[in-house]
Structure 1
Amino acid sequence: MPLAVTDRDRWLALALLLAALLLGYFVLVHPWWTVPMQEVGARVDELRERELRIRTQLQQAPQVQRELTAALAQQAQRPGFLPEATVELATAGLVQRLETIVKQASPGNRSCAIANQSPLAVGGREVYPRVVVQVRLRCGAPELASVLHQIESGSPRLFVENVNLLAQRYAFQASESGTGGLDVNFDLYGYLKPSPAVNQEPAGAR
């Protein structure tokens, strides 16, 4: 006589069937089909975002080029770096510029003159090499103000630091009255453009 199948047995069999199906899915289907498809979908989304970024950059390229051209033109009008290629040439250029500025402030060196000028070696290896000249001037106060203003407002960009002022009593050529002047010491410096070797070194060190 066959055994009667109760409702409890049916539900138990159904539960076992569902458990077997779930186990088969996670063992056979999920790792071999679902996971690869999810990875492909993520890769497709990443490529779409990358394509969108590239397309946006290409659309902005003309504007960026115009801004770069304008910036280069502005920099060319007032270059920030010394035009010379070496420290030696730049030092000679600094001295020549200083002499020109002093002559403009005091024609014939009647009220301002260079007492001493000597290059100062800068230690270390800098990305932007600095060229320094130690300067000593004997000037009247108005002429000194004119010299410093022309140095720091001219082109290329020059800088003054370590200024030391000392009041003196001496006579310039234009006046033998013995009126006082200023004995001034300072460092005059500017920057050279970085050499290609310095620019390439960090890239090679990566």
Structure 2
Amino acid sequence: MPTALITGASRGVGAAIARQLAPTHDLLLGGRPSAELDALATELDGASTWPVELTDPDEVEAATEAISELDVLVHSAGVGGIAPVEDLSTEEWQRILAVNLIAAAEVTRLLLPALRTASGHVVFINSGAGRNARPGWGAYAASKFGLRAFADSLRGEEPDLRVTSVYPGRIDTDMQRELVAIEGDEYDPSKFLTPETVARAVVSAVTTPADAHPTEIVLRPTGRA
């Protein structure tokens, strides 16, 4: 079977993607070492954990060395944060950019030989914030706009790879609950996309026949089940 590496696989969208790709792919489940990651690997019999701190360049380089061929790379790891520009410290900028942009770029760079061997597919879980920057979302939106630019450049530079950016609206995840709490609103999961819906879009992109290149997928919640 083809091999897929999913970062941020321990929960949320990453875990949903892993569950939906499991029947058709050998899985490498990326994430910080955790009981959640181990439990998912046990649930998805045959999946392997890829326990890596994505912001540690040496650790990432060591972890990618053994991967010689890779059919699918899904970047689902990410962090959030809401604050007006005047309150954004250097440390907060560095935290968000390190995970959402720099780590994705570095993992992709190191895995390019493996992806080229398989004529592989790279999927970036971006955000609506990667297309429209709202007040208070400056650092997060900047990281996602940067991720969009990186994906577009990669697509142009690597014609034998398929590169897809997925732009979901707000998703019912633990991170979303934290953001809504910061905003001071009441949490209503019916207003958001489910992780499973986003995962289905990723699977659709990955399984698109080879004569087509699904470059962008935009999802917006409808409020209907």
Report the TM range for the smaller structure's normalisation.
under 0.3
Normalising by the residue count of structure 2, what TM-score does the alignment of the two structures yield?
Answer: 0.24
User: Which structure: larger Rg?
Assistant: 1
Judging by fraction of residues, say which structure has more helix.
1
